[in-house]
Amino acid sequence: MTVAGGPALGFDDVSLTLGQTDILQQVSLRVAAGGVHALVGPNGGGKSSLFKALLGQVPHRGSIALEWPGERPGVVGYVPQALAFDAGLPMTVMDFMGAMCQRRPVMLGLSRRWKAPVEQALRQVGMWEKAQRRMGALSGGERQRVLLAQALIPAPDLILLDEPMSALDEAGMRVFETLLAHWRGQRTTVLWIEHDLDAVTRLADRVTGLNRQVLFDGAPAEVLTPQRVLALFSNRHRHEEVPVAEEVLE
Ligand SMILES: Nc1ncnc2c1ncn2[C@@H]1O[C@H](COP(=O)(O)OP(=O)(O)OP(=O)(O)O)[C@@H](O)[C@H]1O
């Protein structure tokens, strides 16, 4: 069944504690169906953990709802922040793509069904010419392109992007922007962790500032003010700042 675009997402009072550490505290957030929604915040602020909670990889409190427009759930794509490959690992780009999209053993190669979609995805990210290279021999940017390519098969209705541009060069960034425009056209819901605030302002419909808690949420041009950005990236967490602010006021 073809789904008519991506789902809306509702995070309601989501908290996550790992060991003794509160990673997320009562995060409530709505992601519109078919939009490009960015998550920004300092290192360790809990952005990747929010993805893991959404993907069911870590236990959390509160609720996360995916509201699919059709009768059944659609396809979820995920581009992780990084994937390490041993330099000597005899796995080519093509092997990796095969392992990601089909269930049969990598050594059997790509089935006829997947050959054309894999070639198209690798061409879309400019990696078709390097399809026979070993994954461990790729540059960081090339590997990031391949991670983007694997998320194109099958075409996602919801895509989670964890810093997809961090190692990309200028040409790679143009590839990414083209993909973003493609997903926008398909009404794919995009949830995108990003550190480049200029890119967020230019390319996202909405942005949430996250540092364990939601600090702001809205249209990038409205909410990414210097004051808010400074507060978000200052090292203290919000719950630690409140008593200090009260002391100063007294
Ligand atoms: N298993 C774990 N046990 C305890 N703490 C953990 C565990 N996994 C992650 N953390 C901590 O959770 C915090 C949030 O990490 P997370 O990767 O979600 O942050 P992030 O916002 O994605 O950061 P970055 O921008 O650096 O990618 C970090 O301080 C990290 O050290």
For every residue of 59-70, DSSP letters joined together read --EEEEEEE-SS
Please state, in angstroms and rounded to a whole number, the distance separating the CA atoms of residues 31 and 38.
Answer: 9
Hey, which residues does 76 pair with through a beta bridge? 158
Distance CA 232, CA 241 (A): 11
The three-state secondary structure class of 102 is: coil
In sign, the C-alpha dihedral spanning 116, 188, 215, 59 is negative
Q: CB neighbours (10 Å) of residue 228?
A: 15
User: 10 burial class (0-12, 13-18, 19+ CB within 10 angstroms)?
Assistant: middle
Q: The complex's ipTM?
A: 0.94
Atom 1 (ligand 1): residue with closest C-alpha? 18
Compute the distance from residue 162 Cα to the ligand 1 centre, in Å.
13
Question: Do the beta carbons of residue 36 and residue 204 sit within 8 Å?
Answer: yes
**Quick check: helix, strand or coil at residue 197?**
helix
Task: Name the DSSP class of 71.
Answer: S
Return the pLDDT at 163.
Answer: 95
User: What is the residue with the minimal CA distance to atom 24 of ligand 1?
Assistant: 43
In this structure, the chain runs to a length of 250
For residue 27 the two structure tokens come to 């995060």
Residues with CB under 6 A from ligand 1: 18-19, 21, 23, 41, 43-49, 81
Tell me how far the alpha carbon of residue 108 is from its chain's centroid: 31
Give residue 133's pLDDT. Answer: 93
pLDDT at 149: 95
Intervals of CATH 3.40.50.300 along the chain: 1-75+157-250
Q: For residue 208, what are the β-bridge partners?
A: 39, 217
Are 61 and 25 in contact by the 8 Å Cβ rule? The answer is: no
Distance, in Å, from the CA atom of 117 to the CA atom of 100, rounded to the nearest integer, reads 12
Ligand 1 atom closest to the Cα of residue 163 is 27
Specify which residues 30 forms β-bridges with. Answer: 10
C-alpha 45 – ligand 1 centre gap (Å): 7
Query: Rounded to an integer, what distance in angstroms lies between the CA atom of residue 195 and that of residue 45?
Result: 12
pLDDT, block means (10 residues), the chain with 250 residues: 79 94 96 97 95 94 94 91 78 88 64 84 95 92 94 94 92 94 95 96 97 96 95 68 39
**CA pair distance 110, 35, nearest whole angstrom:** 33
Per-residue model confidence (pLDDT) at position 240: 47
46: left (phi over 0), alpha (psi -120 to 50) or beta: left
If one residue of 15, 16, 17, 18 were mutated to test the ligand 1 pocket, choosing by the most ligand atoms within 8 A of its CB, it would be 18
One of 3.40.50.300, 3.40.50.720, 3.40.1190.20, 3.30.1330.10 is the CATH number of 1-75+157-250, namely 3.40.50.300
**The pLDDT of residue 250:** 36
